[in-house]
Amino acid sequence: MFSPARPIPADFEKNVRMGDAVAYCTKCKHHKPPRTHHCKVCGICVMRMDHHCPILQSCVHHHNYKFYLLYLTVPCCLGIFVAIWLRGTFWELLLVLFGGGELSFVDNAIFGAYTNALVIAVGVGWLAREHLFLARYNRSSIEQTVLESTDFQDGDKAELENICTAFGVGPRLPHRLAVLQRVVDGIYWLLPLNGNVPDDSINYNSRLVDPQSIALG
């Protein structure tokens, strides 16, 4: 998740033909693949840049987006689990406080843990929901906020394929076990592994009426 953005492959610059509608970065002095943006903080062009995270001190991009999604969804799920599991105990502690009683050291720890879990479930959960929505439709935060008024549309893949683009796919099973492939993929989504994320962040499928509309940053 803390991995820096990878440089644009040298082959891309060599394969740019005259007349191609390809964005050019005046700061880095090279052509940019589609959905690439220049990060002012990092000072480089980032492939499929989502945003620069001030907490991580790094860009969220194509090659670490899965880790960022797990960074949001796992604490959110744990927060929801704790909030549901301890809801009865939390209510009892509230009744004690409202009745003028005092909490023991252990009760104070439980009260604080529940409060933290509730804050994480709500706060981080909202952010996780936003990014899972973007992953579902193959969008980045930049595209969601900046390109809504242009001719940009979602990638021309099914929603499940979009999720696989973000989370990756598991090892390919033999043909006779193909019915279990989605199960393996689902397990792989939960693992902090990024080796099988499809696409090279250059050959993205997207319906762009005007390719120049993505020449931002």
**Mean pLDDT across the chain, nearest whole number?**
80
3 state SS of 92: helix
- Encode 98-122: b = buried (16+ Cβ within 10 Å), e = exposed: eeeeeeeeebeebbeebeebbebbe
5 DSSP assignment: P
Average of per-residue pLDDT across 110-133: 93
Across 178-188, average pLDDT: 86
* pLDDT for res 213: 42
Report the pLDDT value the prediction gives residue 207, as an integer from 0 to 100: 41
Which helix (H) or strand (E) segment is 53 a member of?
A: strand 51-53
Residues 70 and 64: their CA atoms lie apart, in Å, by 10
Cα dist from 65 to 87, 91, 127, 137, 146, whole Å: 33, 38, 14, 14, 19
Q: Are 8 and 45 in contact (CB under 8 A)?
A: yes
Catalytic residues: 53
pLDDT for the residue numbered 206: 46
For residue 194, pLDDT over 90 is answered with: no
- In the chain, % of residues over pLDDT 90: 29
One-letter identity of residue 138: N
7-10: which pairs have CB atoms within 8 A and are 24 or more residues apart? 7/44, 8/32, 8/33, 8/36, 8/45, 8/47, 9/200, 9/202
Find all residues with CB under 8 Å of 8, minimum gap 6, and list them. 30, 32, 33, 36, 45, 47
- pLDDT digit string, tens, across residues 66-85: 999 999 999 999 999 999 99
| Residue owning tokens 């023991």 | 104
Backbone angles phi, psi at 60, to 5 degrees: -95, 120
Confidence of residue 121 (pLDDT cuts 50, 70, 90): very high
Alpha helices (H) in the chain, listed in sequence order: 10-15, 65-85, 87-98, 105-136, 141-146, 159-167, 181-189
CA distance 181 to 137: 22
pTM: 0.77
